[in-house]
Structure 1
Amino acid sequence: MSFYHFAKTLVAVLLFPAYRIQVIGKENIPKEGGVLLCSNHISNLDPPVVGITCPRPISFMAKAELFNSPLFGKILKKVHAFPVKRGMSDREALRMGLKSLKDGHVLGLFPEGTRSKTGELGKGLAGAGFFAMRTDAKVVPCAIIGDYKFWGRIKVIYGKPIDFEEMREKKVSAEEATDHIMSAIKSLLDTYKQGSNA
């Protein structure tokens, strides 16, 4: 068993019962090929929660500061994360993200770039649109709903891949592509928020 799968199993044993995680739409994640997985961001626990609910390994772009700790930085690298400087304008991180997608892996992003303090969906940064437009990866929106109270309930919803074919043909801007992704995430949030505290 790889370190990634060992860590995923360990974290799943802890988090699934603690937050009674419900997963919806897992079948919407393509079984192979490059996938750009874009989610809203409400907690530091979002990356592990998405990681344990996604059926495929994910390479997350994580803020560079997290890699400053020798031990934690080493663990992050072992679970396929790589650093990005704030604002997602880090050329090396963009290059690594493109390579990950072109090699047929799943790249996980939180397009807002930082956690939402209000729980409301913020504006997405252009990095998500950049990856969507520069590769043939399938773009899958994800919505995380809940407040991470112990023994509360968290919903993780994976939407159907967004059709980017027309937008790629028109060569729309990265910003416009990101807005399209954020609209898909908002649609999932609006659809599934009702009854999320039940």
Structure 2
Amino acid sequence: MAQRKKAKKTGKLYAFGRMLLSWFYLPVYRIHVLGRENVPEEGPVLLCSNHVAMKDPVMLGIVQKRQVFYMAKEELFRNGFIGGLLRRLGAFPVRRGTGGTDALEEAYTLLEEDAVVGVFIEGHRSKTGELQKPKTGAALLCYRTQAPVVPVCITAEDGRLPRPFHRTVIQFGKPVPAERLQIPDDSSMQLRRASRTIMGEIAALREESLKYLGSSSAQAGETERKA
């Protein structure tokens, strides 16, 4: 899929919600953002992140400019009002027992419309903050759409789970073009290999973020001693 010089527009409700929630999340979770400029301002993007908390979609949404679209379980859309609200906020449903094929089709459409699609590559939340084995959905989306992958890692101050009034780093890596992942076909073996490559990028970001948090703590301690 050739990248076009445009980006899917951000919805007004999403923009309002992002502004409102940033007033709470940025100071309470003491969020530090690194590499924000690595998210392309136009064209389709696969934003591939680790998953440490239910609030992850909110935190990723408030720290960069573009609207992020996510899969969410179908049960949340059964109420017409709530379902409509979730869709306006960028969520789209995935049905259990379908292998996620319906949600993938919607993701393909969104990427064709030059949107940013967020994928939690581990498939479920980590209970410890440590990285988990990646799923193959992001690699399949990349193979089918040729959208670049932007790896991102959410790292808490102690390397575990984000907590109020403790620092959290959100670090975006440089875009990984589909060609670099070298996915010749959509066989399970090739998708697993590409998924491990993406996870390796996220793991490298985690190490950098932990070093950043450690050096920041050391600098703060040195300042206090001098005072």
Q: TM-score, normalised by structure 1?
A: 0.91
Q: Given the alignment, which residue of 213, 219, 222 partners 1:196? A: 213
User: Where do 5+ consecutive residues of structure 1 fail to align?
Assistant: none
RMSD in angstroms over aligned alpha carbons?
A: 2.0
Partner of 1:149: 163
Partners of 2:147 and 2:177 within 8 A in 1: no
Q: Which runs of 4+ in 1 moved over 6 A?
A: none
Q: Deviations over 1:23-62 (max 9, x none)?
A: 1101001110000000000011111000111221111112
Partners of 1:88 and 1:113 within 8 A in 2: no
* Displacement of 1:70: 5.2
Partners of 1:23 and 1:157 within 8 A in 2: yes
SS at match of 2:47: strand
* Displacement of 1:192: 1.4
CA–CA separation in structure 1 for the residues paired with 2:95 and 2:205 = 28
Alignment partner of 1:161 is 2:178: no
Partner of 2:93: 83
Percent of aligned pairs sharing the same letter: 38
Structure with max Cα Rg:
2
CA–CA separation in structure 2 for the residues paired with 1:42 and 1:169 = 28
CA–CA separation in structure 2 for the residues paired with 1:184 and 1:137 = 16
Q: Given the alignment, which residue of 196, 204, 219 partners 1:179? A: 196
Alignment partner of 1:140 is 2:150: yes
My pick for the range that moved more, 53-62 or 87-96, is 87-96
SS at match of 2:213: coil
Query: Compared with structure 1, are the counterparts of its residues 166 and 149 closer, same or farther at alpha carbon in structure 2 (3 Å cutoff)?
Result: closer
What is the number of residues matched between the two proteins? 198
User: Where do 5+ consecutive residues of structure 2 fail to align?
Assistant: 1-10, 218-227
Tell me the amino acid that sits aligned with residue 171 of structure 1.
D
Tell me the amino acid that sits aligned with residue 169 of structure 2.
K
CA–CA separation in structure 2 for the residues paired with 1:192 and 1:169 = 29
* Displacement of 1:176: 1.8
Alignment partner of 1:111 is 2:121: yes
* Displacement of 1:154: 1.0
* Displacement of 1:143: 0.3
My pick for the range that moved more, 31-40 or 184-193, is 184-193
Q: Given the alignment, which residue of 112, 123, 136 partners 1:102? A: 112
Alignment partner of 1:2 is 2:12: yes
Q: How does 1:21-36 map to 2 (within 5 A)?
A: 21-36=31-46
CA–CA separation in structure 2 for the residues paired with 1:63 and 1:138 = 25
CA–CA separation in structure 1 for the residues paired with 2:97 and 2:199 = 16
My pick for the range that moved more, 32-41 or 81-90, is 81-90
Q: TM-score, normalised by structure 2?
A: 0.80
SS at match of 2:195: helix
Q: Given the alignment, which residue of 20, 26, 39 partners 1:16? A: 26
